[in-house]
Structures are given as structure tokens and as C-alpha cells.
Chain A
């Protein structure tokens, strides 16, 4: 089976005043469908840049990025936005929920971009809420939820439109150990049982241990690759 993500010789350059910064240098990478991949590395290693490129939030200076056979590296901003709304779910470190909307309404946001009826949307939202274990919190606003619950809502929002690809930027960075563990378990389930491809950036070795494979980046290049033994993945 062809990989979902295929990155070929991608470089990202941008200038800041008189200096040129290269967060990514000639990077190539394949990610098979249903894999839970974690990206690690010190600050400035390029991991978040890589994540943004995969998510279609940024475009590379050179190279090819094929997602499900489509080269997104050369799409226009509008085309990327449309592509994202269908194919990607993004999970942020600080959840980024809209404070004036309830959990239900936050999760509904990606669906409003499509053509589903109200009833169809309701079905999907409740399914997503149940999947993340927050079926009873649909009407709560973010201020009424704990950090872990907020992140679950964010995850529900990321999966409600059934994208193939989930990207997560430090999803457990702001959570206590217990909440972090439950989130990681959830992510693992999404990859293993629901065939979602997940790319996660993290500093936390425990978080990367929940992934199928970990890649180490340094100064914009891949330097190490390791696989988590199947036995340690529950």
C-alpha cells in the first residue's frame, strides 16, 4: 500500500532581516497509512516546521509533499484551505477552542464548511464526543472544562469530519501526567483501531513512547529513527 504521506527532498528557507534561516534541509520521509508517528528534537530542530508543512499550514521552498497522492506543496493558499478542511485535523498544545462556543458547537465548526444537514452533523458530533468520552459535556463551554477535557474536545473537533490525517503539536504539553496519559491512549486508539494517520510533535519521551515510530530531528535534518516495540503499545 502506498504511504499516505510522501515527502521528497523538502527544504524550507526564510529570511529574517539580513540572515537566512533554514529550518528544514533536504528532508525526505514516508509515512504509511494508520501510523502514529512522533517527531522529536531540540528547540529549533525543525519539527514544528515539518508538521506545519504536512498539515498544509505552510508551503516548502523546494521539494514535493504528496498526501494521498496529491502534491500539496504547490497548492495556492485558497486550495490549501479547502484541502485542509477535508483531509486534516489539527490538535494544538493549547487546545485553541473558541471560548464563546460550547463543546458541541466547537466540534461542529469543521462540519459547517461542508454540506451536511443539521441532523447529519448532530450524528457525527455525538459520535465524536462519545469517542473521546465526553458525551455528557456537550453543552459546556471551555471555561467549564478541565485541561484534559478541553484537549479531548479539541481532538473530537479534529476527527469529526473524518480526515485521514491528524497532526498534533505538543498535545500533552499543558496537561498533568494522568490527563496526558489518557490523551495518548486515545491517540493510539485512533491510529490503531480507526486507521487514522497521526503525526505528533513532542518533547516528552513518554508521549513518543505511545507512538509507533519516532523520528529525531536536528538542525533541519533527520538524524535518528526508532520504533516502539509492539509489546509496549497497549
Chain B
């Protein structure tokens, strides 16, 4: 076996080639990490936003989007009394009729953006158990509480949504009374109103949805209710499945992300292959000399792979550092909420495997080409 220092020294033989290989691998790994983190972030916020213990009642035909759904107000009390097995906390049934709306909100500093609004009563806290009031109080009339990441949707600094500050819906002024967290869910990007307030502001006389929390009951009980009370024209869906379905809408956008990453990576990989082929072609004679001395092709092949792996893994390290500095923790707002890019172990593992693949499989064709010619031919080559 050739000494490891041989592989190391060969790397520095051509500094521009080394830079290109390290840089190229860094680009490919960063792209892959970004694509994986983006997909994972989107998936995870959607999957943790819904609980399997909650069931949502929506207007029939609107199962794909709560925003379009209309549910009569009297359906809430009908559901609370008719559906067995609902959770109860201190005598209060865990059922929350809500209005979900997207409309422009103006901050005190004058920034106006489309925001995610939810009109609720306090029973909402019994149903959405990830929500925790961080500071201040639950909104009463004329008040709202803002999610921890709501500022990202509005594109303003967190201080602009501090307690006591005002927000504007059309001409109506509302005061921020509290802030809440709901880590890893879309709820964290929302602004919660008192339901009566939102109903009059949006001139709605109906709800968007009713969310129930099950205890001993199950989805069949809820479905039975929707069949029995056909007049209410309701459909039911488990909350986690609703968000899963939402995720399907983003499939094409996710595919676009992957395709883009793949195309740019392909360009980088082809460039790298070109460089490697040229670099190894210049060493055919050297390889032949070592073979004539008595080194087997396997030993030489391993040395070439060592060299490549050193370069690509260095690039991978640079990619990790860049990703950690610029990507990790970044919040990305999208239509129903905000998700966070995280360098999970899975993401890091993907990056590592990519670096290893580039250095081993990627080197395979040029290395084989370099070692394939018969000795007499190789010794004579130029």
C-alpha cells in the first residue's frame, strides 16, 4: 500500500485543481443540505401542526382548505352535546369553534402584509395543546395575541409586535395583549383574535371550523354525527391528516426545489469529472511506473480514492460550516405558516454521504481510466 502521505501530497500538487474539487464538492453538498433541510422543515411543521387526538369539522366540500369552509355557529353546541367521548377539562368540553382568515394587517409602523388570523375563545387552548401563553393575557374584545413567529409573516422585527403595541385591520385598531408559542407548528405564525371581534371585522356570521379533542371517543363517533346531522353539511377529518393533505399541495414546489438542486449539482459534478479525468490522465505514466516497481493496481486505486476523499470531505466540511452559519435556524415563511431550517442529524448524514459518494464513486471512472491501460502502453503514453 502506498503511504497516506503520498495521497496528501498529491492533493497540493495542483492548487487550482484542489480549489476546484473542494469548492465544487462544497457547492454540491450545500445545495443538497439546503434542499433536504427545506423539505424536512416544511414536512415537520406540517406534521407537528396536527394532532391525532383532534378532529376538525369543516363545511362539506372544503376539506382541502379551512379558509374556504363555512360552518354554522349552532353546529358547535350540537357537536358538543351529541358527540360522545370528547375530552373534558374541569367540566369544560374541549371543543373550539374558530374563524380562520387571511387578510392584510397593518402594524403601528405602517407595514401592511397578508397575515394569518384565527378567531377563537379560550377553549382553543384545551384543543391546541402545543400553544403556551408566553407573556401577557388571552385576547379579550379589541385585543389580539400574536404567535412567536407572526412577525416573520408580517416581515417586521419582533419588537414591532410587543405587548401593548397596536395593529390595524382596515380602520379598526386592536391592541396586542399577549404572545404565545406553539413550537414547530403553523399556529406560531398566527394572530389570534377574540372570535366575536373577528366575526364582526370580517362580516361573517359563520365559523370556518370546529376542532374537537377526543378522549375515549374516536373519529367514527364524529363521522356518525356528521351523517346524523346532514342538515349541518359538515365533513370531518383528523387534524394530523388535514395537515398531511396540505403538505401534498406543496409537493410540486418541493419537486421544483429538488430539480433545481439536481441541475446545478449536475453542472458542478460534470465539471469536477472533467478536471479529474484531466488530472489523472496526466499521471498515467506515474501510475505505470509504480506498477512496474511492484505496486498493484488495487493499491494505486486506493491511493487515488484517498486523495479524492480528502478533497471532497474538506469541501463537505466547508459546506457544513457554511450551512451552520447561514442556514441553520433560518425561518422561512410560506402560505400557511413558517418553518425553520434545521441541520438535523439526518441532514448532516445526507451531506456526509454525498461527500463520500463524490470522493469515491465520483472518482471511479477517471481512476479506472488511469489504471486500465496495459503497462507497455501506459509507459509510452504522453
Give yes or no for direct A-B contact (beta carbon below 8 Å). Answer: yes
Check if B102 is an interface residue, CB within 8 A of chain A.
no
- Name 19 extra pairs, CB < 8 A, besides A57-B292, A99-B13: A49-B376, A58-B374, A81-B294, A85-B293, A85-B294, A90-B293, A98-B6, A98-B289, A100-B6, A100-B9, A100-B13, A101-B9, A109-B295, A110-B294, A112-B1, A112-B2, A112-B3, A113-B293, A113-B294
How many residues of B sit at the interface, in one of the four size bands? 20 to 34
Instruction: Determine if A96 and B285 form an interchain contact, defined as CB atoms under 8 angstroms apart.
Output: yes
Shortest A97–chain B CB gap in Å is: 8
Which of B289, B294, B375 contacts A52 (CB under 8 A)?
Answer: B375
Which one of A82, A101, A112 has the highest number of Cβ atoms from chain B below 10 Å of its Cβ? A112
Task: Tell me the chain B residues, 127-151 only, with Cβ under 8 Å from chain A.
Answer: none
Closest 9 CB pairs of A and B: A85-B294, A96-B289, A57-B375, A100-B9, A90-B292, A84-B294, A113-B294, A52-B376, A110-B293
Residues of chain B having any CB pair with chain A under 8 Å:
1-3, 6, 9-10, 13, 285-286, 289-296, 374-376, 379
In the assembly, what is the distance between CA of A52 and CA of B288, in Å?
13
Instruction: Determine if A86 and B294 form an interchain contact, defined as CB atoms under 8 angstroms apart.
Output: yes
Instruction: Determine if B294 and A92 form an interchain contact, defined as CB atoms under 8 angstroms apart.
Output: no
Residues of chain A having any CB pair with chain B under 8 Å:
48-49, 52, 55, 57-58, 78, 81-82, 84-86, 90, 92, 96, 98-101, 109-110, 112-113, 157
Shortest B79–chain A CB gap in Å is: 78
Instruction: Determine if B3 and A81 form an interchain contact, defined as CB atoms under 8 angstroms apart.
Output: no
In the assembly, what is the distance between CA of A100 and CA of B286, in Å?
11
Which secondary structure dominates where chain B touches chain A? helix
Q: List 20 A-B contacts (CB under 8 A).
A: A52-B376, A55-B292, A57-B376, A78-B296, A81-B291, A82-B294, A84-B293, A90-B293, A96-B289, A98-B286, A98-B289, A98-B290, A100-B9, A100-B13, A109-B295, A110-B293, A110-B294, A113-B293, A113-B294, A157-B293
| In the complex, residue of chain A having the shortest beta-carbon distance to the beta carbon of B292 | A90
In the assembly, what is the distance between CA of A81 and CA of B375, in Å?
11
| In the complex, residue of chain B having the shortest beta-carbon distance to the beta carbon of A49 | B376
In the assembly, what is the distance between CA of A81 and CA of B292, in Å?
7
**Residues in A neighbouring B2, C-beta threshold 8 A:** 112
Instruction: Determine if B292 and A109 form an interchain contact, defined as CB atoms under 8 angstroms apart.
Output: no
| In the complex, residue of chain A having the shortest beta-carbon distance to the beta carbon of B288 | A96
Which of B6, B291, B293 contacts A101 (CB under 8 A)?
Answer: B6
In the assembly, what is the distance between CA of A185 and CA of B363, in Å?
45
**Residues in A neighbouring B9, C-beta threshold 8 A:** 100-101
In the assembly, what is the distance between CA of A52 and CA of B294, in Å?
14
| In the complex, residue of chain B having the shortest beta-carbon distance to the beta carbon of A95 | B289
Shortest B15–chain A CB gap in Å is: 13
Instruction: Determine if B375 and A96 form an interchain contact, defined as CB atoms under 8 angstroms apart.
Output: no
In the assembly, what is the distance between CA of A99 and CA of B291, in Å?
16
**Residues in A neighbouring B3, C-beta threshold 8 A:** 112
**Residues in B neighbouring A85, C-beta threshold 8 A:** 293-295
| In the complex, residue of chain A having the shortest beta-carbon distance to the beta carbon of B296 | A81
| In the complex, residue of chain A having the shortest beta-carbon distance to the beta carbon of B290 | A109
Shortest B203–chain A CB gap in Å is: 79
